[in-house]
């Protein structure tokens, strides 16, 4: 008898055949009542608390397949035989790509449409936001910075003092796309050239590496997601992560024109051929519930999308979040152009 289990598979092992070879019963157990298959680009450990709470509350087993790259391509390749029930991604653009490719389906859920405002779900109910995060400034704790705009990253006074991950990473591509939406392509290209000129090292690594390199004296400031700070500052005393977190302060940048801060989402859709559709809907509904949103806030240090959920003290210490009013779907329109500009200025070289 084959039983389902939580698993993480390498990116190339996502077909039904590969799932079966990994010990997952796709044809029988995975399609039985009480289970569902989640394909996610999100690091498994970041969603584990929510999934464990869901399993305990609903009695539905979640089989997690971590897909670092190429989720859309694999969903298309698996087609009607895909065991996927839910797709979860960490960028609005990637979520829209799944919808536009026809590998998702709209669902009817009074819970989701009641909890989520219109700007955090699609009009057709084929994608839904689960949490928010903002792109903030990590700065050396001893620096005196009263306010900061994203445009300031290109100020020559920061020459040789900026650390940032690759411009082609979705987190930064989305930010660059927002800059295009606000200021136009020409101004954004000039801005990217300025940020590149200010780099203390090659644009690479992850967001935590920005804090690491600030502690190491490589740079003074950098752009990264807010929730990593909570993980670092609450890490075990004496650990590297704790040292990195203690070395930085967080300043919330804004766009010069809008006065708002750039945000992105974790979001999800139900797969077009979901063999466990009812369970998939149940998972999405649970993830916007009060208990799950409290976990997003306190276990993941993100911003809940449900009103009335208290922030973690670390997140709350960053001050009031004034979200950039530009719709996420509008920003997503400029992702391709943003990617092209990154290559044009050699940002990641």
Annotated binding-site positions for Fe cation: 227-228
Query: Residue 266 in contact with residue 89, Cβ under 8 Å?
Result: yes
Tell me the C-alpha to C-alpha distance, in Å, between residue 231 and each of 30, 196, 207, 244, 249: 33, 28, 12, 10, 14
Rg (CA), the chain: 20
- Secondary structure (3-state) at 346: coil
Q: Which residue intervals of the chain are DSSP H helices?
A: 16-21, 44-58, 71-78, 92-100, 110-115, 170-183, 185-197, 207-215, 227-233, 240-246, 277-287, 290-298, 313-316, 328-332, 335-344
DSSP 32-74: STTEEEEEESS-HHHHHHHHHHHHHHH--EEEEEE-SS-HHHH
Closest CA to 271 of 82, 7, 123: 82
Please enumerate in sequence order all residues whose Cβ is within 8 A of that of 316, keeping only pairs 6 or more positions apart, or say none.
none
Give the residue numbers of the binding site: 227-228
Q: Note every long-range contact of 113-117, with CB atoms under 8 Å and residues 24 or more positions apart, other chains counting.
A: 115/288, 115/305, 115/306, 116/288, 116/305
Tell me the C-alpha to C-alpha distance, in Å, between residue 317 and each of 150, 217, 250, 298: 20, 25, 9, 13
């Amino acid at each position: 008898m084959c039983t389902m289990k939580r698993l993480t598979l390498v990116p190339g092992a996502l077909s039904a055949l590969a799932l079966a070879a990994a010990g997952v019963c796709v044809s029988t157990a995975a399609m039985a009542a009480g289970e569902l298959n989640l394909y996610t680009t999100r690091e498994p450990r970041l969603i584990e608390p929510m999934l464990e709470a869901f399993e305990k509350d609903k009695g539905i087993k979640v089989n997690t397949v971590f897909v670092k790259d190429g989720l859309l391509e694999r969903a298309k390749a698996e087609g009607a035989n895909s065991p996927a029930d839910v797709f979860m991604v960490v960028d609005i653009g990637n979520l829209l790509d799944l919808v536009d490719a026809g590998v998702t389906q709209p669902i009817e859920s009074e819970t989701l449409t009641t909890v989520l405002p219109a700007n955090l779900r699609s009009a057709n109910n084929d994608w839904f936001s689960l949490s928010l995060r903002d792109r903030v400034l990590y700065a050396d704790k001893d620096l005196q910075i009263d306010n900061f705009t994203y445009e300031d990253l290109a100020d020559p006074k920061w020459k040789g003092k900026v650390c940032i991950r690759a411009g082609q990473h979705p987190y930064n591509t989305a930010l660059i796309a927002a800059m295009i939406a606000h200021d136009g392509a020409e101004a954004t290209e000039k801005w990217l050239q300025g940020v590149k000129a200010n780099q203390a090292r090659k644009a690479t690594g992850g967001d935590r590496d920005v804090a690491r390199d600030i502690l190491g004296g490589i740079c003074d400031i950098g752009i990264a997601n807010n929730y990593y700070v909570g993980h670092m500052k609450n890490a075990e005393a004496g650990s590297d992560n704790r040292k990195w977190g203690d070395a930085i302060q967080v300043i919330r940048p804004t766009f010069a024109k809008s006065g708002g801060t750039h945000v992105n989402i974790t979001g999800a859709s139900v797969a077009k051929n979901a063999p466990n559709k009812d369970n998939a809907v149940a998972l999405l509904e649970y993830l916007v519930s009060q208990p799950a949103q409290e976990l997003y806030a306190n276990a993941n240090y993100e911003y809940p999308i449900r009103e009335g959920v208290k922030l973690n003290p670390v997140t709350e210490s960053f001050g009031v979040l004034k979200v950039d009013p530009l719709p996420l779907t509008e920003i997503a329109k400029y992702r391709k152009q943003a990617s092209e500009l990154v290559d044009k200025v050699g940002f990641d070289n």
